[in-house]
């Protein structure tokens, strides 16, 4: 019962803030709504029992990426940014039609998946003896060690690339 109420409240908040991110005219407001959206998703992760993912969400998304966005918003001049009104009606209609097509496609998959009887029942496991963070860390450093190292390499390359791109040309 409580789980249901929490889910619907969080879903409402997440979708509401998402719509506000996309529709708000002021880019700084968009970024702030994005923070609220990320925090609501972090709470959703908590309710899903993914504590480590929730902490990473708050640290990396709400803490790191959003600060990056705010810096860029402050660095560029947003005056005279054309948005909305100059969008031609044909383009708006085309965009909405494509978004509707994506929604139809995804919901068709969901409906067909829920209509089919579950082939493999979800395993009923005993409560894990390890905590969530320990299990995630254990998997990261054993089965997924190579992807983990590749991800760190990717972050290094991205950092170097961002510095090279943002540097003033000499």
Partner 1 sequence: MTPITPYHYLVLSAALFTIGVIGVMLRRNIIVIFMSIELMLNAVNINLAAFSLQWHHVVGQVFGIFVIAVAAAEAAVGLGILLAFYRNKETLDIDEMTILKW
| Least distance from partner 1 to the Cβ atom of residue 170, Å | 13
Q: Is 42 exposed, middle or buried (0-12, 13-18, 19+ CB in 10 A)?
A: buried
Query: Judged by CB under 8 A, does residue 145 bind partner 1?
Result: no
Buried b (16+ CB within 10 A) or exposed e, 104-130: eeeeeeeeeeeeeeeeeeeeeeeeeee
| Least distance from partner 1 to the Cβ atom of residue 8, Å | 9
Total site size for partner 1, rule CB under 8 A: 84
The secondary structure of 47-116 as a DSSP string is HTT-HHHHHHIIIIIIIIIHHHHHHHHHHS--TT---STTS-HHHHHHHHHHHHHHHHHHHHHHHHHHHS
Among 9, 74, 145, 157, indicate the residue that binds partner 1 (CB under 8 A).
Answer: 157
Among 90, 119, 146, 165, indicate the residue that binds partner 1 (CB under 8 A).
Answer: 165
Among 90, 112, 119, 163, indicate the residue that binds partner 1 (CB under 8 A).
Answer: 163
Q: Which residues 54-83 are close enough to bind partner 1 by CB under 8 A?
A: 56-57, 60-61, 64-65, 68-69, 72-73, 75-78, 81-83
| Least distance from partner 1 to the Cβ atom of residue 100, Å | 8
Distance, CA of 108 to CA of 116 (rounded, Å): 12
Q: Which residues 20-59 are close enough to bind partner 1 by CB under 8 A?
A: 21-22, 27, 30-31, 34, 37-38, 41, 44-45, 48-50, 52-53, 56-57
Query: Judged by CB under 8 A, does residue 147 bind partner 1?
Result: yes
């Amino acid at each position: 019962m409580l789980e249901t109420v929490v889910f619907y409240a969080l879903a409402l908040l997440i979708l509401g803030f998402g719509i506000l991110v996309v529709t708000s005219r002021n880019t700084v407001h968009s970024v702030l709504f994005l923070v609220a959206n990320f925090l609501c998703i972090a709470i959703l992760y908590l309710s899903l029992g993914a504590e480590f993912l929730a902490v990473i969400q708050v640290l990396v998304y709400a803490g790191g990426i959003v600060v990056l966005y705010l810096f860029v918003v402050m660095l560029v001049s947003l005056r005279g940014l054309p948005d909305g009104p100059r969008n031609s009606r044909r383009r708006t209609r085309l965009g909405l039609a494509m978004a509707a097509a994506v929604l139809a496609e995804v919901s068709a998959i969901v409906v067909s998946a829920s209509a089919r009887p579950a082939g493999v029942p979800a395993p009923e496991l005993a409560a894990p003896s390890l905590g969530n963070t320990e299990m995630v860390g254990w998997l990261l450093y054993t089965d997924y060690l190579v992807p983990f190292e590749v991800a760190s390499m990717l972050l290094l390359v991205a950092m170097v690339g961002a510095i090279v791109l943002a540097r003033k040309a000499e």
